[in-house]
Amino acid sequence: MRKLSLERLDALLSSISEKMPLYLPVDTDGGAHFVRFQSGLKPSEKLLPSKSAKDIFFPQSEELVNFKVDGKKIEIIDIRKECEDFVVWGVTPCDAKALRVLDNVFLAEPIDSFYKNRRDHGIIVSLACARPSETCFCQTFGIDAADPDCDVAIYKADGYLYLSPKTDKGEKLVASLADLTEDTDEKPVEDAKNTIRERLAKLPLANLKADAFGAGKTSKFFDAPEWSELSESCLGCGSCTFHCPTCQCYDIKDIDTGHGVIRQRCWDSCMYSEFTKMSAGQPRLTQKERFRQRFMHKLVYYPERYNGLYSCVGCGRCLRVCPIGMNIVKVMKKLGGNENA
């Protein structure tokens, strides 16, 4: 465990950014957003960036491959490049866990080489949540906001920043900052963790349980009459999916440039009318089915496929952005009944 005075935070960030690209949440007119660090930029003090660190690993749109067409000749241009190591600073513990959810999907065969490239080179620095919000419910999914699952966990306490490396990547990063930091015992961090856990226990959603959901519950919930009421005013805007750190669906489109093709992928949303449309048509005909898909995927299908792990991390973004105030907490309470008090 190492520490440095919070007054020297800028020196620390500058030192990292001299070694490799550093991304961190910075305040903008539209909330905190991840940007590349430049000297003078101040990290946002906000708990939750508007959009999660997912965007850095799985951007909203990216080119996959290009084709050059010359008469009947098609040349395939592989545009993949190995990226350099980089640091993502200030990832919330929920968002760090969300990357594990994405890993299950993108790092299994067939491996998504675009995601893997960034994942291999990205170093996640996660700040424990001293001031959780009323919309936070990471605990429901077994996430400990006092002890993030990441490369380096950081804590702020009594004027110091504490750095606790948790993986080899993290050890290396912290070692490279030795001239700015000093050794410290674990006591202040243990105290900080206790304070965080006391606060987590007091959150309004602290008692929300996911036990009613999980593997094997498809038939129990699929035809539940409650879906009609829950989805009745949903606009199908997809704002919830585009802010969600675990949503992973994408679409692929070929853009004709006149002398070739750019193959692009971009996020898609189960809330959209054209989602997974096939030659036979659209499998989910009304907003009710699309809405159901989103929540069944988070709470039932994903855990069924991946060892009981839920694909919601309780970040609370969907609670904040939905124009009609509908969200996964309301769905869980309505469908889970008493098991979810």
Helical H segments across the chain, by residue range: 9-19, 54-57, 93-106, 113-121, 168-175, 187-202, 218-222, 226-231, 239-243, 287-296, 302-305, 317-321, 328-336
Chain mean position to CA 170: 19
Q: Which amino acid belongs to residue 34?
A: F
Which does residue 23 touch among ligand SF4, other proteins, none (CB within 5 to 8 A, set by kind)? none
Position among 116, 121, 217, 320 found at the interface with other proteins (CB under 8 A):
320
Determine if 46 is a binding residue for other proteins (CB under 8 A): yes
Does residue 54 bind other proteins (CB under 8 A)?
Answer: no
**Of residues 121 and 288, the one with the C-beta less far from other proteins:** 288
Query: Under the criterion CB under 8 A, does residue 50 sit at the interface with other proteins?
Result: yes
| CA–CA gap between residue 238 and residue 249 (Å, rounded) | 12
Contact region with ligand SF4 (CB under 6 A), list: 110-118, 153-161, 164-172, 312-320: 312-320
Among 216, 283, 323, 337, binds other proteins (CB under 8 A): 323
Return all residues near 338 (Cβ < 8 A) that are at least 6 apart: none
Query: Could you say which residues in the range 132-161 bind ligand SF4, by CB under 6 A?
Result: 132-133, 136, 138, 143, 145
CA distances from 238 to 45, 74, 102, 146, 337 (A): 27, 37, 19, 31, 26
With respect to ligand SF4, which residue has the nearer C-beta, 138 or 261?
138
Round to whole Å and give the CA distance between 178 and 158: 21
Chain positions contacting other proteins, by CB under 8 A: 28-31, 33, 46-48, 50-51, 60-61, 131-134, 199, 202-205, 229, 232-233, 235-239, 242-243, 251, 255, 264, 266-269, 272-274, 277, 319-327, 329-330
